[in-house]
Amino acid sequence: MKRNRRVKILATLGPASSDPAVIEQLFRAGADLFRINMSHTSHERLFSLVADIRAIEGRVGRPIGILADLQGPKLRLGTFAAGPSELANGATFVLDGDPTPGDGNRVFLPHPEILTAVEVGHHLLIDDGKVKLRCIAKPDPMTIVTTVVVGGRVSDRKGVSLPDTDLPIGALTEKDRADLDAALAAEVDWIALSFVQRPDDIAEVRKIAKNRAGIMAKIEKPQAIERLAEIIELSDAIMVARGDLGVEMPLERVPSLQKQISRACRKFGKPVVVATQMLESMITSPVPTRAEVSDVAIAVYESSDAIMLSAESAAGKYPVEAVAMMNSIAEATEHDPTWRPIVAAQRSEPEATGADAIAAAARQIGETLAVAAIVCLTQSGSTGLRAARERPFSPIIALTASPPMARRLALVWGLHCVVAEDARDVDDMVDRGCRIAHAEGYARPGQRIIVVGGVPFGTPGSTNMLRIAFVGADGTGSA
């Protein structure tokens, strides 16, 4: 079962899509990986979903990736004594450490770290930015006096965002630590970390994960944008979390930030996922808006590694249709004659290493000879990542002896992952590459393929060999 597109589809599971039969339908409709949102998933349910996905994987014969998305810190207001209050523009409103229920003049903020960190001039956003406050005074460390910049209704436990404040808290809460341990025990393939502000947040999770799962940093804070290069370097992948990013930063900046993050990830050779509201109207409608179709297509033109569905597949009325629609849009975009020159124009220069030079040469030779496929033997995943970073137009088959690595690489642009034994020698490497390219439906007898690997075999990161091979009449190969 091969996809007719390079970009991958990440579908979120939820109430509308937790049944094993529906999950399998989502995969067959085009989902390459599944996201489990730990904000709404118990550990028991997590293990059950992972078992269901692994059973589907066995039936369809394809590696399927699983992403566990950690909730991250949730900053919220206290309660109001008489129900919701309306804040008028220009009014004064106080947030403090007094647990007494609030009113139209003040409210308890049960986060002393916010009270002490906010400075005069900093903004506070309530309820996803619907209400905007600006700090005008700090009479004491536990009191914030604000003026209402954008008025509206405030009520119990509404969320608080702080776009200007660098909070002295890590990205992992006690709940996140427990969820992380459970996700690693369930052997998920990716961990998505919310509320990333600094590289140290990634290092903390990496120390716990110990390479048992890839670490994906969600970029949703202005502080993360300021240290983007450092965060990308320490992460295994990046998610452009456009929802929270659009709350904490001006909405008009989100498209340019999406491009900036995508380009930076390609430069570093790290996968990037574009997420949030891609087909939002399909939560309630069987057909998306024209603007949503264009939004998905733009991410494909940017050659993002993956595009994600959230509530559309988790809680919407049309989860399978949403995946099928995203698949159709991606396929149509990649068949557009303008797609290739756009992708080619965005390529980064290869790093000055032998492995990167081999990957770049494979792309160039592949285009010159119009090869049927580029076959990469990869153990640590680095060869597959390097090949994908070049964005070749020849299909890329990633052969690995590790099922967990095949699942992890299912996120990466253009990689068709196959679990296979390590090659014994160079002849076996060539023969194995030809037979699998033929069996997977990528190469016909008489066509050429490129085989990329490393000697000695089984040594991670040793990419140093490129062979051009012909597929024989029986599917075997010769260099």
Question: Is 1 part of any domain?
Answer: no
Give me the catalytic one of 5, 6, 8, 35: 35
Question: Is 222 part of any domain?
Answer: yes
**Which residues, including other chains, have CB under 8 Å from residue 472's CB and lie 6 or more apart?**
434, 445, 478
Residue with tokens 């030779």: 365
Q: In whole angstroms, what is the distance from residue 362 CA to residue 90 CA? A: 62
Q: In whole angstroms, what is the distance from residue 453 CA to residue 463 CA? A: 5
- With a cut of 80, say whether residue 4 has pLDDT above it: yes
The pLDDT tens digits of the residues spanning 41-62 come to: 999 999 999 999 999 999 999 9
Q: In whole angstroms, what is the distance from residue 117 CA to residue 150 CA? A: 22
The pLDDT tens digits of the residues spanning 161-187 come to: 999 998 888 889 999 999 999 999 999
DSSP letters for 358-409: HHHHHHHHHHHHT-SEEEEE-SSSHHHHHHHHT--SS-EEEEES-HHHHHHH
Residue with tokens 């491009």: 259
Look at residue 479 in the predicted model and tell me its pLDDT: 60
Average of per-residue pLDDT across 199-220: 95
- Total number of domains in the chain: 3
CATH number reported for the structural domain that contains residue 58 in this entry: 3.20.20.60
Give yes or no: residues 14 and 37 share one domain.
Answer: yes
CATH number reported for the structural domain that contains residue 97 in this entry: 2.40.33.10
Residue with tokens 């997420």: 275
Question: Is 204 part of any domain?
Answer: yes
Q: Give the three-class secondary structure for 316.
A: coil
Find, among 432, 280, 384, 268, the residue nearest to 8 by Cα. 384
Give yes or no: residues 279 and 210 share one domain.
Answer: yes
Three-class DSSP labels, 89-138: CCCEEEEECCCCCECCCEEECCCHHHHHHCCCCCEEEECCCCEEEEEEEE
Query: Is residue 407 annotated as a catalytic residue, yes or no?
Result: no
Give yes or no: residues 123 and 175 share one domain.
Answer: no
Give me the catalytic one of 276, 333, 383, 463: 276
Assess contact for 179 and 147: CB atoms under 8 A. Answer: no
Assess contact for 194 and 71: CB atoms under 8 A. Answer: yes
Average of per-residue pLDDT across 474-478: 70
Dihedral over Cα of 422, 425, 428, 434: its sign:
positive
Find, among 333, 331, 271, the residue nearest to 306 by Cα. 271
Q: In whole angstroms, what is the distance from residue 289 CA to residue 291 CA? A: 5
Structural domain that includes position 474: 354-478
Look at residue 264 in the predicted model and tell me its pLDDT: 96
pLDDT band at 125 (very low <50, low <70, confident <90, very high): very high
Q: What is the CA radius of gyration of the chain?
A: 24
pTM of the model: 0.94
89 exposed, middle or buried (CB, 10 Å; 0-12, 13-18, 19+)?
exposed
Assess contact for 9 and 32: CB atoms under 8 A. Answer: yes
Where does a domain end: 280, 301, 335?
Answer: 335
Assess contact for 362 and 392: CB atoms under 8 A. Answer: yes
Question: Is 268 part of any domain?
Answer: yes
What is the chain's percent helix, strand, coil content, to nearest 5?
40, 25, 40
Q: Would you tell me how many other CB atoms lie within 10 Å of the CB of residue 451?
A: 28
Q: Give the three-class secondary structure for 448.
A: strand
Question: Is 343 part of any domain?
Answer: no
Question: Is 349 part of any domain?
Answer: no
Q: Which two tokens stand for residue 244?
A: 């929270």
- With a cut of 90, say whether residue 473 has pLDDT above it: no
Q: Which two tokens stand for residue 253?
A: 């900046």
What do you get for the CA distance between the two ends of the chain, in Å? 27
Q: Which two tokens stand for residue 337?
A: 């004659």
Percent of the chain with pLDDT over 70: 99
pLDDT band at 477 (very low <50, low <70, confident <90, very high): low
Give yes or no: residues 274 and 209 share one domain.
Answer: yes
Question: Is 80 part of any domain?
Answer: no
Look at residue 478 in the predicted model and tell me its pLDDT: 65
Give yes or no: residues 248 and 297 share one domain.
Answer: yes
Give yes or no: residues 359 and 467 share one domain.
Answer: yes
Question: Is 345 part of any domain?
Answer: no
Look at residue 171 in the predicted model and tell me its pLDDT: 83
Where does a domain end: 140, 161, 182?
Answer: 161
Give yes or no: residues 135 and 175 share one domain.
Answer: no
DSSP letters for 378-391: -SSSHHHHHHHHT-
Q: Which two tokens stand for residue 299?
A: 């991410």
Q: In whole angstroms, what is the distance from residue 414 CA to residue 396 CA? A: 6
Give yes or no: residues 51 and 186 share one domain.
Answer: yes
Look at residue 474 in the predicted model and tell me its pLDDT: 77
Query: Is residue 218 annotated as a catalytic residue, yes or no?
Result: yes
Where does a domain end: 114, 133, 161?
Answer: 161
CATH number reported for the structural domain that contains residue 387 in this entry: 3.40.1380.20
Instruction: Please tell me the least confidently modeled range out of 45-59, 64-78, 327-341, 462-476.
Output: 462-476
Look at residue 463 in the predicted model and tell me its pLDDT: 84
Instruction: Please tell me the least confidently modeled range out of 42-56, 327-341, 441-455, 461-475.
Output: 461-475
Assess contact for 228 and 220: CB atoms under 8 A. Answer: no
Look at residue 444 in the predicted model and tell me its pLDDT: 94
DSSP letters for 328-344: HHHHHHHTSTTHHHHHH
Instruction: Please tell me the least confidently modeled range out of 106-110, 314-318, 456-460.
Output: 456-460
Look at residue 319 in the predicted model and tell me its pLDDT: 98
Beta bridge partners of 270: none
Look at residue 76 in the predicted model and tell me its pLDDT: 93
Give me the catalytic one of 28, 45, 76, 227: 76
- Mean pLDDT computed over every residue of the chain: 95
The pLDDT tens digits of the residues spanning 452-464 come to: 988 777 667 678 8
Residue with tokens 């992708």: 343
Look at residue 405 in the predicted model and tell me its pLDDT: 97
Query: Is residue 76 annotated as a catalytic residue, yes or no?
Result: yes
Give yes or no: residues 368 and 464 share one domain.
Answer: yes
Assess contact for 264 and 231: CB atoms under 8 A. Answer: no
Give yes or no: residues 262 and 397 share one domain.
Answer: no
Give yes or no: residues 280 and 300 share one domain.
Answer: yes
Query: Is residue 221 annotated as a catalytic residue, yes or no?
Result: no
Give yes or no: residues 218 and 322 share one domain.
Answer: yes
Give me the catalytic one of 62, 198, 218, 391: 218
